[in-house]
Structure 1
Amino acid sequence: MDFNSHNDGVVLVAVGLVNALTPGERRGRPFPVPADLPAAATEGLRNGYPNHREVGEGDAGELAEVAERLRVVFEAVASGDVDTAAGQVNRLLDESRARPRLDRHDGEPWHLHFHGPGGTMAGDWAASCATGLAIVLGSEFHDRLGVCTAPHCDRVYVDVSRNGTRRFCSTPCQNRVKTAAFRARTKTA
């Protein structure tokens, strides 16, 4: 990816929140809304920021709502509808009232943050994720956002391989597809 290290982390958080907090299918199995929403939200945030603090119950519910709205962006890009993805990001930017601010914390150098004026965890992450995805959608790399193409899997991903060819959320999903194709070939031979 290499947009910049902070933006890369924010986009990975968007991926993590969608995958941890939205229901669907994962790697061939149904994936319901997690019973332990705070743990799932913490896992999603740690996808981009491994040392992120644990999330409380109220914040987890709000982050789940943000994740549902972020999923629309990935699904739209995966189906080739960048206009819908951009519209959803613009709505999130408007609603979160994302505003740029240079911050320095935790021993890090100055870096750009985008937070809303409300100061809630979910609002701040909605603003940051929307901004991060806006940067990706506004670049030649928008096609690096996607939804796994393996059957019975709807995990989202961002292709960090630098060649833009990833179409699966994980190696296990890719292997499931390859194995199924191999079995189909050997049955007809």
Structure 2
Amino acid sequence: MIFGHDTEAALQAAVALINSTGNPDALTTVQAVDAWYAEHRYTGRRDRDETELEELRALRPVLRDLLTTDRDHAASLVNDMLSEAAALPQLVRHGDEDWHLHAIDGDAPLARRVVVETAMAMVDVIRLDEMSRLSLCADENCQGVLIDLTRNRSRRFCTTACANRNAVAAYRARTRTR
């Protein structure tokens, strides 16, 4: 494990939220938010309404900028995000999760908690100088973001579908030249 469990979980949730902007958009209903929330094991307040959905949708470009910018700009964004949310890091333990950091109350709106948890995760990425673990998908027809948690930093595609599409294209190109 490169980062702590909570850091990896927050980054993976942010990447999934960013990549939900695909064609078709995967975040258009409250039920889609429910699925994302459950998959990424968020806890705390849920309003389950259109406002919450729209707030999460509005976060996608903000988080994309945070995860794909250079280290110095990311640090500035993190500081702004944590300051605006009046974040106060605390160790918490709940459910089957051992001690980990939360920096905002569980009663805060979901979108604000996502911003703060992602910003806190980026603190580790920035401090460890691991920005290269975050990148854009190598598929030229995809705008997806990926987090590479492999030991050898070999991940290039945001999904298996993108990787397979490129492998097939490369195979076809090789067989055409023979």
* TM-score with structure 2 setting the length: 0.82
How many residues in Structure 1 have an aligned counterpart in Structure 2? 177
Specify the alignment match of 1:68 in structure 2: 61
2:170 paired with 1:181: yes
* Inter-partner Cα distance in structure 1 for 2:42 and 2:118: 16
* Inter-partner Cα distance in structure 2 for 1:51 and 1:123: 13
Shift of 1:63: 1.8
Unaligned runs of 5+ in 2: none
Q: State which of 45, 52, 57 in structure 2 corresponds to 1:59.
A: 52
* TM-score with structure 1 setting the length: 0.78
CA spacing shift, 1:167–1:48, aligned 2, 3 Å: same
The C-alpha deviation readout for 1:134-163, integer Å capped at 9, x for no partner, is: 211221322111221112212222112122
CA spacing shift, 1:6–1:159, aligned 2, 3 Å: same
SS for the counterpart of 2:97 is: coil
Shift of 1:34: 3.5
Partner AA of 1:109 in structure 2 = D
The C-alpha deviation readout for 1:97-124, integer Å capped at 9, x for no partner, is: 2220122222433322111698222212
Q: State which of 19, 39, 42 in structure 1 corresponds to 2:34.
A: 42
Alignment of 1:1-189 (within 5 A): 1-20=1-20, 23=21, 25=22, 30-32=23-25, 34-36=27-29, 38-49=30-41, 56-57=48-49, 58-76=51-69, 81-115=70-104, 119-189=108-178
SS for the counterpart of 2:94 is: coil
Instruction: Let me know the Cα RMSD of the aligned residues.
Output: 2.7
Partner AA of 1:64 in structure 2 = R
* Inter-partner Cα distance in structure 2 for 1:66 and 1:116: 19
Unaligned runs of 5+ in 1: none
1:59–1:122: 8 Å Cα contact kept in structure 2?
Answer: yes
* Inter-partner Cα distance in structure 2 for 1:164 and 1:152: 22
Q: Percent identity?
A: 32
